[in-house]
Amino acid sequence: MNFDKNLLMTYKKLIQTTELERSYQEFLRLFRFLRVELEKELGDYRFQGNIIENGMDYSYFQFTNDALKKKGLKIAVTFVHRNFQFEVWLSGFNRKIQCNYYELLKDTRQPFSLTEDPKRSDYILRIPLDQNLDLSDGKRVLSEIKDASLRLLGYMEGVEAT
């Protein structure tokens, strides 16, 4: 099997000539802080054990509670690397559940971004955080993520899929 030599050499150059490795480690430190602190503040929810890194496409951790679980739903705190932006997603446990909620919500107005294609995206609804949010201010980022999560959770309390 052959691999793209130019991309591999670009990666080598980035690792050797920038602080890419240390910068990524600092990002992970921030993300772990957010997960741990959010779990402390939202004690009624069960958090997934660790952060999932999806090949620098996006990284996330998720949580749910009994009420959400009965609906087949979870919240994902997501960092989209290309946009360098946090988002909070409402997701289904599987594509079938996502499609059911999409059908339920597609003709309604809500204050969130609704997926365009529930069969291909990993969320039903999402809230992108402000791109100008100072990520070095961990407490502020935590507050924004918690607020977005609670807004999604509150919205979904009255929504039932068929």
Answer yes or no: is 16 within a domain. Answer: no
Answer yes or no: is 18 within a domain. Answer: no
Distance (Å) of CA 53 to CA 33, 78, 96, 130, 162: 15, 10, 24, 22, 33
Answer yes or no: is 38 within a domain. Answer: yes
Share the mean pLDDT of the chain: 94
Banded model confidence at residue 162, pLDDT cuts 50, 70, 90: low
Q: Which domain holds residue 68?
A: 33-156
At 20, the amino acid letter reads: L
Q: How many residues does the chain have?
A: 162
Please report the pLDDT score of residue 55 as a whole number. Answer: 83
Answer yes or no: is 28 within a domain. Answer: no
Please report the pLDDT score of residue 121 as a whole number. Answer: 94
Judge contact between 71 and 162, C-beta under 8 A: no
Answer yes or no: is 81 within a domain. Answer: yes
Q: Return the biggest CA–CA distance within the chain.
A: 55
Answer yes or no: is 4 within a domain. Answer: no
Nearest to 47 by CA among 29, 30, 32, 25: 32
Give the total number of structural domains in the chain: 1
pLDDT per residue over 115-129, tens digit each?
999 999 999 999 999
Answer yes or no: is 48 within a domain. Answer: yes
pLDDT score of 161 more than 70? no
DSSP 149: H
pLDDT per residue over 36-94, tens digit each?
999 999 999 999 888 998 888 999 999 999 999 999 999 999 999 999 999 999 999 99
Under 8 Å CB-to-CB from 92, ≥6 apart: which residues? 72, 73, 74, 98, 100, 101, 118, 124
Please report the pLDDT score of residue 45 as a whole number. Answer: 96
Q: Reduced to 3 DSSP states, what percent helix, strand and coil does the chain have, rounded to the nearest 5?
A: 45, 20, 35
Residues 52-82, buried b or exposed e (16+ Cβ, 10 A)? eeeeeebbbbbbbeeebeebbbbbbbbbbee
Going 155 to 59 to 141 to 43, the CA torsion angle's sign is positive
